[in-house]
A and B are shown apart, each in its own frame.
Chain A
């Protein structure tokens, strides 16, 4: 029998409503509340204990609450931690997510997809639920099914198939159908009004900064097209770049083929190397600078190879470049890439 511990808030543990929200972490033997609903659904998994904590207590004393709850987990030594379902409750969802993300054992939480806890769940699997407790009957079987999968040791399939929210990971796998067939299937589905993708969009959004009056602005050129000085003196990789580079423009009127080339390994660079302005349009930018359309062009450009770069790396490149640009007083950026 696989041993599981279940985490719920004060309300679902039967300790009370908002008036009990300051209850510190506590451990209850066996299954309680929604855990009792899970028991008949869990095959070969036993809920040995229920951990509960008041929503406010967790929010206001996160470190202490986590420490106590993790202490309970260490004593119970379960194989699996189940959290929630928290539905749309932000504090409860956050507690589920933080406990799951800190758990020494495999963890699974359940909550509404817009619960702020989702963003804090890290590697924890999150089963999407309805926004309120009316979705309990639907949520528990899905939690139980994913729990069964998790403890079976079988490889976990993609989020849509297994019933959890995308975590931002991508895994290569061999599909049974060739790409052309799958593309046609997606197209046919789209024609009937159903838009699907094999590549989940798990990215956050940034509000667009306010527009800039360019006639008095400092504009910088940035590229992820692998443009470097001839000979690639700093050995920018053709794929999976580990960093970015900054090169002076030295008042150049354009990206001359004598001075620059592209080392990008993700496309045919023949055309680009005949005229690197095709990747970094310095010639056009300079002309517009002369005409007063742009206040001034920053005297260096920033480059990397955007090819097979992990999201975490390119995020870091962007942050580092942004920090330099801000220090240099740059107000607008023209970024080019493939």
Chain B
């Protein structure tokens, strides 16, 4: 709901979450599928960098509603 309401205000929002199905069901538009509930943003700095870069790329991309991108392996 946070992602949707912030986007409703016109601010592009990338949502990094381990539960993309719930995120899109609620209406988040830019969803990055993080690795796990206990560390959605990445376990180590290398993984985090990849996930954050993916999220930034998504913020710079025109997307359809409720788009999910997998974090790169």
Across the interface, which residues of B come within 8 angstroms of A210, CB to CB? Answer: 12, 62
Known: A205-B65, A212-B60, A278-B39. A325 touches B27 (CB 8 A): no
A residues in contact with B33, CB < 8 Å: none
Decide if A232 is an interface residue (CB 8 Å cutoff).
no
Tell me which residues across on chain A come within 8 A of B15, comparing CB atoms. Answer: 335-337
Query: Contacts of B19 on A, CB cut-off 8 Å?
Result: 337-338
Task: Say yes or no: is A292 at the interface (Cβ < 8 Å to chain B).
Answer: no
B65 and A278 contact, CB distance less than 8 A? no
Contact partners of B17 in chain A: CB under 8 A: 336-338
In the complex, which residues of chain A have a beta carbon less than 8 angstroms from the beta carbon of B41? 277-281, 284, 336
Choose among A201, A214, A306, A331 the residue that contacts B56 (Cβ–Cβ < 8 A).
Answer: A214
Contact A319 B37 (CB under 8 A): no
Contact (Cβ within 8 A) A267 B52? no
Flag B45-67 by CB within 8 Å of A: 1 or 0 each: 10011011101100111111111
A225 at the interface (CB under 8 A from B): yes
B10 touches A284 (CB 8 A): no
| Chain B residues with a Cβ closer than 8 Å to the other chain, count | 50
Within the assembled complex, what's the spacing in Å between the Cα atoms of A280 and B55? Answer: 13
Contact status A284-B52, CB under 8 Å: yes
Name the contact of B48 in the complex, choosing from A214, A272, A283, A325 (C-beta under 8 A): A283
B2:A222 contact, CB within 8 angstroms: yes
Which residues of A286-317 are within 8 A (CB) of B?
A: 287-288, 293-294, 304, 306, 309, 311, 314-315, 317
Q: Is A318 an interface residue (CB 8 A)?
A: yes
Residues of B within 8 Å of A222, CB to CB, are: 2, 6, 13
Are B11 and A335 within 8 A (Cβ)? no
- Do B2 and A206 touch across chains, with their CB atoms under 8 A apart? no
In the bound complex, do residue B6 and residue A203 qualify as a contact, i.e. CB atoms below 8 Å apart? no
Partner of A206, one of B29, B37, B40, B42: B29
Closest CB of chain B to A21's CB: distance in Å? 34
The answer to whether B52 and A204 touch across the interface, beta carbons within 8 angstroms, is no
Q: Which residues in chain B, 1-36, are within 8 Å of chain A measured between CB atoms?
A: 1-19, 23, 25-27, 29-30, 34
Given contacts A224-B2, A279-B40, A325-B9, contact A204 B27 (CB under 8 A): yes
Residue of B nearest to A311 (CB): B1
Residue of A nearest to B67 (CB): A208
Please give the distance in Å from A244's CB to the nearest CB on chain B: 8
Q: Are B45 and A283 in contact (CB under 8 A)?
A: yes
Q: Which of A199, A201, A281, A318 contacts B1 (CB 8 A)?
A: A318
Instruction: Evaluate contact between A333 and B13: CB separation under 8 angstroms.
Output: yes
Is there contact, CB below 8 Å, between B42 and A209?
no
Question: A204, A206, A280, A318 — which one has the most chain B CB atoms within 10 A of its CB?
Answer: A206
Whose C-beta in chain A lies nearest to the C-beta of B39?
A278
Q: Which of B12, B13, B25, B38 contacts A272 (CB 8 A)?
A: B38
Determine if B37 and A284 form an interchain contact, defined as CB atoms under 8 angstroms apart.
Answer: no
Residue A187, interface by CB 8 Å:
no
Considering the chains assembled together, what is the distance between the CA atoms of A76 and B56 in angstroms?
61
Among candidates A319, A331, A336, residue contacting B5 with C-beta atoms closer than 8 Å? A319
A317 to B6, CA, bound (A): 10
Q: Is the CB of B37 within 8 A of A338?
A: yes
Q: Known interface pairs A206-B4, A318-B6. Does A332 touch B40 (Cβ–Cβ under 8 Å)?
A: no
Residues of B within 8 A of A311 (CB): 1
Top 4 A-B pairs, shortest CB-CB distance:
A318-B5, A322-B9, A278-B39, A314-B1
- Which A residues are within 8 Å of any B CB, using their own CB? 199, 201, 203-214, 219, 222, 224-225, 267-272, 277-281, 283-285, 287-288, 293-294, 304, 306, 309, 311, 314-315, 317-319, 321-323, 325-326, 330-338
Pick 5 A–B contacts, CB within 8 A, sort by A: A206-B29, A284-B53, A288-B56, A321-B6, A335-B3
